[in-house]
Amino acid sequence: MNITHHVERGHLLFPDKIALIFEDKSLTYKQLNLLANRVANGLRGLGVKKGDRVALFLPNIPEFIISYLGILKIGAIVVSVNVMLKSAEVSYILNDCAAKVVITTETQSKQVLEADLPELQHILIVEGTASKGISLTQLIENASGEGCAVEMDRHAPACIVYTSGTTGFPKGATLSHGNVISNMYSHNRCCGMRPDDRLLLYLPLFHCFGQNAILNAGFNVCATIILQRRFKLEQVLDTIATEKVTMFFGVPTIYLNLLNTSFSHLQSIRYYFSAAAPMPVEVAKIWQEKYGLVIHEGYGLTETSSCSCYNHELKYKFGSIGMPIENVEMKIVDGDGHQVKPGELGEIVIKGPNVMLGYWNRPFETAQVIKNGWFHTGDIGRMDSDGFFYIVDRLKDMVNISGFKVYPTEVENVIYQHPAVAECAVYGVPDALKGEIVKANIVLKPGNAVTEEQIIEFCSRRIAIYKVPHVIQFVDSLPKNPTGKVLKRFLSQKSIPQYATVTV
C-alpha cells in the first residue's frame, strides 16, 4: 500500500479531470501525478531513500501537495512544519526528526539556520530566488516524469506531524500509511464524498485536519480540491460562489464568522463539517435554523490521523461528537483505566487502525499515552445510553475551585447563549483563597454593549454559582492556533492586574 495510490488511481481513471485549483492555476490528475513523479525522481537524485525524513516548511501552495506526494511515492517520510515557527523552533523539529531535506520558500528559508542543522543535506526553494539551496523547479525540470509509488507495509511510517507543544517541546506524532489510508476511507464514507464534489481547503496543510480529512480524503474519491493560502472571509465567499464549492470544512470560529453571511453566498454547498474544537450548541442550532443544514462534527487528534468519531450519517444529535468510525473503538474510563457507566464523566480513550505508531524517537512519552493499545486522549467526555459521545473538556483545561471541578466548555456554552456575544474563552486563573477562579474573555458582536455584571448575572441564572466567571474581560479578539483553536493556555499565562468593563 501507499497513500499516493489515490492520485495514481485518479490519473488512470480521470486523467483530464481537474484535481487541484489554486488562484488562477489548475492541475489535472494526470498533471498532478506527473509532477509528483518528477519530485520523487528529483529527490532520488539527491540521495533520498526509503525512510529518510523530508520536511515541508511551506504555506498552502501547490508545491506543498506536489512535494508531499513525491516524498511518499519513494517511501520517504513527510515531516510537516508549521509555517509560523521561528528559527529556534524550526531547528528543534528538523533536528528531532533528523531531516535530510527541507522544502521551503525563499522567505521561510530565513528561519532555516544551516549551522544548527548537522543532519540537513539539502534546502529546496519554491516561490522566490534560491539564494541558498536549490530551486525545486529546476530540480523537477531535469527529472523524469515516469514512475509509480513503491509498495509500503501498512505499519511503515508515512508522515510525522508535530504537536503544538503547549505543554513542552513539540512531539512528532508518527502516522503510518495504514493509519492515513484507513482514515481517509472512513472520512469518505461518513461525509458521503463523491467524485463530483469540490472541496475548499484553506485550513493549513501542515495540520492533520487539512492534510488528511480534506486533501487525502478528497483525492481518494477523485474529487477537486480548491486550495487557498488561508481563511479570508471575502475571498472564501467569492471562491464558494465562483468555484461552486460543494463541501465546506472548518472550525467553530470559522462558522461564527459565517453566521451573518447571506445564504446566496453559500447556495452551492451541500455539506458542512467542523472539527478541531467543540462546536457550541447554540451556534449549531442557529446555523441549522438559518441555513437548513446541520454542521456535522468530527472528533480526533493528530495522534489518531485525525478522525475517530463522527456525528453522524444516520442520526445527528446536537452537542455530540457522534459515534466511533468503523474499525475504531472508544470508551470513557476513570483514573484507574476502568470503563465508566453511560452518563458518567471520564477520559476518552481510542483504539483502532487510526492510532499513531507513536511519537518519533520518544518511547517513554509514547508509553504514557498508548496503554494496551488504547490511546489516552487527555479529553474529558461522556457517552449517553445510545452510544453517542460528548466532549466536556480537556483534562489540563479543567478548573479546580476549592475542590469543585469546572469544565470551561460548559461555561462557554452558557455564555454563547447571550445575544451580544460573538466569541468567548473560559479558563482558570490562580486565586490565593480558592486555588483557581473562572475567568472569561469575551468578544462582543459589533454594535452591542454589555457589562461584566450583566454577563455574570446571565450565567448565575443558568449554572451553579461556583461555575460562574468571577472575572470578565472584554477583548477585540482571542488568540488562536493555525486551525482556529483558541489558545487558552496562552490566556491563562498572561497576568493582567485589573479588568475594566467596556462597551463595544
What pTM does this model have?
0.85
Domain boundary among 375, 394, 413: 394
Based on the fold, state whether residues 459 and 326 are members of the same structural domain. no
Least confidently predicted of 2-11, 168-177, 217-226, 253-262? 253-262
| Same domain membership, residue 388 and residue 428 | no
- Sheet of 471-474: strand order equals 421-431, 435-444, 471-474
263, 269, 275, 277 alpha-carbon torsion, rounded to 10°: -10
Q: Would 162 be classed as within a structural domain?
A: no
pLDDT of res. 497: 37
For 284-308, write each residue's pLDDT tens digit: 999 999 999 999 999 999 999 999 9
64-81: buried (b, 16+ CB within 10 Å) or exposed (e) per residue? Answer: bbbbbbbbbbbbbbbbbb
The more confident residue out of 97 and 430 is 97
Please state, in angstroms and rounded to a whole number, the distance separating the CA atoms of residues 442 and 447.
14
Number of domains in the chain: 3
242 and 390, same domain (yes or no)? yes
Question: Do 128 and 264 belong to one domain?
Answer: no
Residue 496 has pLDDT above 70, yes or no: no
Domain match, 103 and 191 both: no
* Statement to judge: residues 40 and 79 lie in one domain: yes
In a domain, 337, yes or no: yes
210 and 133 assigned to the same domain: no
Domain boundary among 338, 367, 394: 394
Phi, psi for residue 16 in degrees, rounded to 5 = -100, 5
Write down the pLDDT at residue 499: 31
Read off the pLDDT of each residue in 96-122 and give the average, rounded to a whole number.
Answer: 96
Shared domain check, 289 and 344: yes
Least Cα distance to 74 among 143, 172, 13 occurs for 143
What 294-301 contacts at long range (C-beta under 8 Å, 24+ apart), as own/partner pairs, is: 295/255, 296/190, 296/191, 296/271, 296/272, 297/273, 297/321, 297/322, 298/187, 298/190, 298/213, 298/273, 298/274, 298/322, 299/275, 299/389, 299/391, 300/208, 300/275, 300/354, 301/208, 301/377
pLDDT digits (tens, 9 = 90+) for 252-281: 888 988 987 877 889 999 999 999 878 889
Q: pLDDT digit string (tens) for 396-411?
A: 787 878 667 788 888 9
Domain of 279 in residue numbering reads as 182-394
Residue 389 lies inside a defined structural domain of this protein: yes
Helix axes 62-73, 29-45, angle to 10 degrees: 60
Residue 230: pLDDT band (50, 70, 90) is: very high
- The pLDDT assigned to 164 comes to 60
**Integer Cα distance of 340 and 345 in angstroms:** 8
Tell me the chain's radius of gyration from C-alpha atoms.
23
Q: Is residue 501 part of a domain?
A: no
pLDDT digits (tens, 9 = 90+) for 52-77: 999 999 999 999 999 999 999 999 99
Supply the CATH number for residue 70's domain: 3.40.50.980
What is the grid cell recorded at 364? 517513554
Same structural domain for residues 219 and 119? Answer: no
Say whether both 365 and 453 belong to one domain: no
pLDDT of residue 199: 98
Q: Report residue 396: phi and psi, to 5°.
A: -75, -15
Mean model confidence pLDDT for the chain? 92
Among the candidates 357, 375, 394, a domain finishes at 394
List of E strands, 288-420 = 295-301, 306-311, 323-324, 329-333, 346-351, 358-359, 370-371, 374-383, 389-394, 399-401, 404-406
Q: Which of 356, 255, 253 is nearest to 300 (CA)?
A: 356
Residues 210 and 85 in one domain: no
CA separation for the pair 338, 333 (Å, rounded): 5
Q: How many CB atoms lie within 10 A of CB 431?
A: 15
**Domain assignment of residue 290, yes or no:** yes
CATH number at residue 482: 3.30.300.30
Q: Is the pLDDT of residue 340 over 60?
A: yes
Q: What is the pLDDT of residues 136-182, one digit of tens each?
A: 999 999 999 999 999 999 999 999 999 864 445 789 999 999 999 99
* Res 84: pLDDT: 86
Average pLDDT of the residues in 327-351: 96
- 270 shares its domain with 312: yes
Q: What is the pLDDT of residue 168?
A: 55
Share of the chain above pLDDT 90, in %: 78
| Predicted local distance difference test score (pLDDT) of residue 197 | 98
- 3-class SS shares of the chain: helix, strand, coil, % to 5: 30, 25, 40
In a domain, 125, yes or no: yes
Whether a cis peptide bond, with omega within 30° of 0, leads into 306 is yes
The least confident of 18-32, 211-225, 428-442 is: 428-442
Residue 157 lies in a domain: no
Look at the chain and count its residues.
504
Residue 160, domain member (yes or no): no
CATH number at residue 291: 3.40.50.12780
Spatial separation of the C-alpha atoms in residues 155 and 178, rounded to whole Å: 6
